[in-house]
Amino acid sequence: VKAQGRRYVHAPPGYVCPACELVAGRNPAGEATTQADVVYRAPRALAFVSARFWPNNPGHVVVVPTRHYENIFDLSGTAALAVHLLAQRVALAMKDAYACGGISTRQHNEPAGQQTLWHYHVHVFPRYPGDGLYASDSAPTTEEERRPYADALRRSLGAPAAAEG
């Protein structure tokens, strides 16, 4: 990709990336997210239920590449494909598991773009008529609040196929 080569880095020195910790099978230190939130592992991408819920869109999912890229500026084409194929798979699973009316994705870069996790990620939101997603804000959740959403998505997603990218 021609755009690669200029990097915009905001992760502080010594950053222990929570997404990379999840990919490695560990629970990220100091984060609410644990392995119990992971709903799908593809060879190049991983999906987990977000630790923060929007009031009318509970159970939204975050999809990350298994390799570390901070943002859209340094993302590889291979990782972009893997992340968006998994986002699509999650979206279809959400339609079944949550019976939502629609799906929205959101992706943020740099502090001005409201990025706070310094590992490229795509949010996949279940949408409902009049849900006010863009006019509302998120709140932290407990593992118990997230579990039914993670369980329902895992049931709908099934196990990864061996040949998947």
Of 123 and 126, nearer to Zn ion (C-beta) is: 123
**CB under 5 A: which stretch of 25-33, 52-60, 118-126, 153-161 binds Zn ion?**
118-126
* 19 is a site residue for Zn ion (CB under 5 A): yes
* 68 is a site residue for Zn ion (CB under 5 A): yes
Number of residues binding to Zn ion, judged by CB under 5 A? 5
Angle between helices 77-98 and 143-157 (to 10 degrees): 100
Which residue from 41, 44, 89, 119 is in contact with Zn ion, where contact means CB under 5 A? 119
DSSP code, position 54: B
Q: Which helix (H) or strand (E) holds 122?
A: strand 122-127
Separation CA 117–CA 11 (nearest Å): 9
Tell me how far, at minimum, the Cβ of 33 lies from Zn ion, in Å. Answer: 13
**CB under 5 A: which stretch of 14-22, 29-37, 42-50, 133-141 binds Zn ion?**
14-22
Contacting residues for 47 by C-beta, under 8 A, at least 6 apart: 38, 39, 40, 61, 62, 63, 64, 86, 87, 90, 124, 157
Chain residues that interact with Zn ion, rule: CB under 5 A: 17, 19-20, 68, 119
